[in-house]
Amino acid sequence: KKIKVGVVGYGTVGRGTVQTLISNATEIKRKTGLDVVVAGVADLHITDKNDLYLEQVPLKTTCADELIANPDIDIIIELIGGTGAAFDIISKALKNGKHVVTANKALLAMRGTELMALAHSMHRNLMFEASVGGGIPVLSVLQNDLAANHILKIEGIVNGTCNYILTRMEREKLPFETILADAQKLGYAEADPSGDVEGYDSVYKMIILAYLAYGKWVDVKDVERVGTQIGLAQIEAAHVAGQRIKLIGSVEKQGDDIFIAVKPKAVPLESVLAEVSGVFNGIEIVGDKVGSLFLQGQGAGSLATASAVCADILKIAGTLK
């Protein structure tokens, strides 16, 4: 059976996902026995987009409903971001009997309770590996590999933009504003970087990790959050003390309460987190049986994130063949 997917949003990650499914189709089939086909792509600006991979997609449209209503499509991939239209697309897809894969961390953190309840009621999968850690399979590890563990703590660097800025500030002795401007030119930071540098992006990701660890969605307003407006003097003082400043997200459970924090923290130079540099992410998970595990990899980027999207697609496809 061919498993057909429809991709909504042909931006950085959407393009990477279509490219991966098409260019690595033979490898995917060899490893999984699955024949996954991109049946359609929807994007409001689809007429402005063209590349070798999009040319091979039979249905190209500006209307997501065309994919959602298509009876031949098994899985909808939501990659437009935001919390408005994306909620409607995911909800409509689930109600139409489609399985859904998304990378939408903000939407999950804010409305995950509703969406997961809807997916459960419709007996459909809603999967979101790509919402945290880019290409790092951290959600799969929490859900599957560590299912026999009580999770004692999760701590890590989950925002590549902030890590890039702090890394260069330390190495080059340049101020925050200068490195941020460079990051924007290189595409590592948005034109409005507040979501990254003020810690919101990391907050959303830690909320998702907490949900998978403990089965409860924590409200955004209940998360302790401090941004990365760090001065060179603070970075130098930490270095003299044998430490390095990183924006660290943490999740911990005490009794029935779940505590999440995102804030700059000085970590020892010899620690694994101190070694995570540039746009990379690194996440430590501590389980009561396994002890400490550390996962590191590309926390963003077209193909790294697409790898995580495709992992979810293949997990769902494996139940449909």
DSSP letter for 235, please. H
Return the ∠ at Cα 260 (arms to 258 and 266), rounded to 5°. Answer: 135
Instruction: Retrieve residue 278's tokens.
Output: 């540039």
- Nearest Cα neighbor of 313 from 76, 23, 61 is 76
DSSP for 55-94, written as a single string: GG-SEEES-HHHHHT-TT--EEEE-S-SSSHHHHHHHHHH
**222 and 260 in contact (C-beta within 8 Å)?**
yes
Strand partners, 35: 2
- Nearest Cα neighbor of 301 from 46, 7, 24, 11 is 11
Tell me if residue 205 is catalytic: yes
Catalytic residue among 4, 98, 105, 205: 205
Sheet containing strand 280-287, strands side by side: 224-225, 257-268, 243-254, 151-157, 280-287, 291-298
Spatial separation of the C-alpha atoms in residues 128 and 92, rounded to whole Å: 17
- Other CB atoms within a 10 A radius of the CB of residue 15 amount to 22
- Nearest Cα neighbor of 311 from 160, 130, 159, 173 is 130
Positions annotated as catalytic residues are: 205
